[in-house]
Amino acid sequence: MTEKLFGTDGVRGRANTYPMTADVALKLGAAAGRYFRKDGLNRHRVVIGKDTRLSGYMLEYALTAGLTSTGMNVLLLGPVPTPAVGYLTRSMRADLGIMISASHNPHHDNGIKFFGPDGFKLSDEAQDEIETLLAGEIQPAQPENIGRAKRIDDGRGRYVEYAKTTFPGHGRLNGLKVVVDCANGAAYRAAPDVLWELGAEVIPVGVAPNGFNINQQCGSTHTQTAAEAVVQHGADVGIALDGDADRVMILDENGKVADGDQIMGLLAARWAQEGRLQGKTLVATVMSNLGLERFLAGKGIDLHRTPVGDRYVVEAMRKGGFNLGGEQSGHIVMTDFATTGDGLIAGLQFLAAMVETGRKASALTHSFEVVPQLLQNVRYKAGASPLESAAVKAAIAKGEAQLAANGRLLIRKSGTEPLIRVMGECEDESLLKSVLSEIVAEVEGAA
């Protein structure tokens, strides 16, 4: 196993295909257990959550076998949102948290994400050390020090109770009809429970997981289902989560979608006005729209950009002492409340804005005018390096010169799939399309 396992968000791949096999999961669990059990004492614990993919069972038990073989005690949470694992890792004084999920990907993919004892995702340095252990011979625990495994039945309930406390002033959602699309994923019970207990009339969508339908024609990556439910039921607002509930899209009463940029723009402006926005700075990635940057500048708010990946957003937030950040894709990170993106709690913050202002969702979901943005993905073969091609480099340089001060280009490898993501922004949409088509053609030729 010389190939690097960890990407921008843990280890991810197609289930029962390297690296998402039971064998690798067992060894990865053993390596993580050895890393966190450096002192050799048998009092360390790890919490494991998962989403609703069929392959979650296989990976959960394989990880448990590896962890207990090195003396870690395992607490199994069952299906819970990714942010619940971050919260419960810290709340239960665990040394390690693990979430088994491929987030917004289809059911045939899966992934393994690691959280440290502070509830934040593991640093690159810690992941590198685990990979180094994985490459060597992992020393098992003595028979008397083998770990135990225990199922925790109230993990979801603990998270539900905590999520409710983040709604401002212990307020209520009485009178609001809310569609919540749980993507047949990890929040299929937690999210409707939170909203109902806060007083909303809840229309649940995507709450019948069968192991294969996670993110299938539903959730934050397919908002049409939630939009149709909003219009059909005359709802005031819709909340669309992804498979592990760390992303969110908001839909207004007309079914129109607001992405992460619009949500962050609203929250940043409100928090800055209330004196709650630390450092008067929002942290977002290079993918966030130019319109957001211009909107924030008009409010006297700085935009700090990071590489793509919510873990890089969180690292920049922690380093700079900032408390709000996220991604256009819907990861909204609020370190006052959570250690990672939390779609449900972000949704609650939007609902709080509706309650406190008395305004409709449509009046809050359009903070700024979006600069035309296009994104095209080009799949490449194993071993290919399209971005090293001289023709691709020349096309990118030409495109940058054409857009000049009126826009920008961002061409990068995906951290989770064999894709080259070609993104551009420009006020002149026809010019943007022309520039991107030339670059995509060259990338496809080198892929």
Record the tokens describing residue 365, joined without a space. Answer: 């979901």
Is the CB of residue 352 less than 8 Å from the CB of residue 167? yes
φ/ψ of 78, rounded to 5, equals: 75, -160
Is the CB of residue 320 less than 8 Å from the CB of residue 326? no
Is the CB of residue 385 less than 8 Å from the CB of residue 394? no
Judged by phi (left if over 0) then psi (alpha if -120 to 50, else beta), residue 247 lies in beta
430 is catalytic: no
From the candidates 55, 101, 103, 220, which is the catalytic residue?
103
Which 8-state DSSP code applies to residue 39? T
| Euclidean distance between CA atoms 368 and 290, whole angstroms | 10
Is the CB of residue 320 less than 8 Å from the CB of residue 149? no
| Euclidean distance between CA atoms 213 and 102, whole angstroms | 13
| Euclidean distance between CA atoms 186 and 245, whole angstroms | 7
Three-state DSSP class for residue 252: coil
| Residues that are catalytic | 103
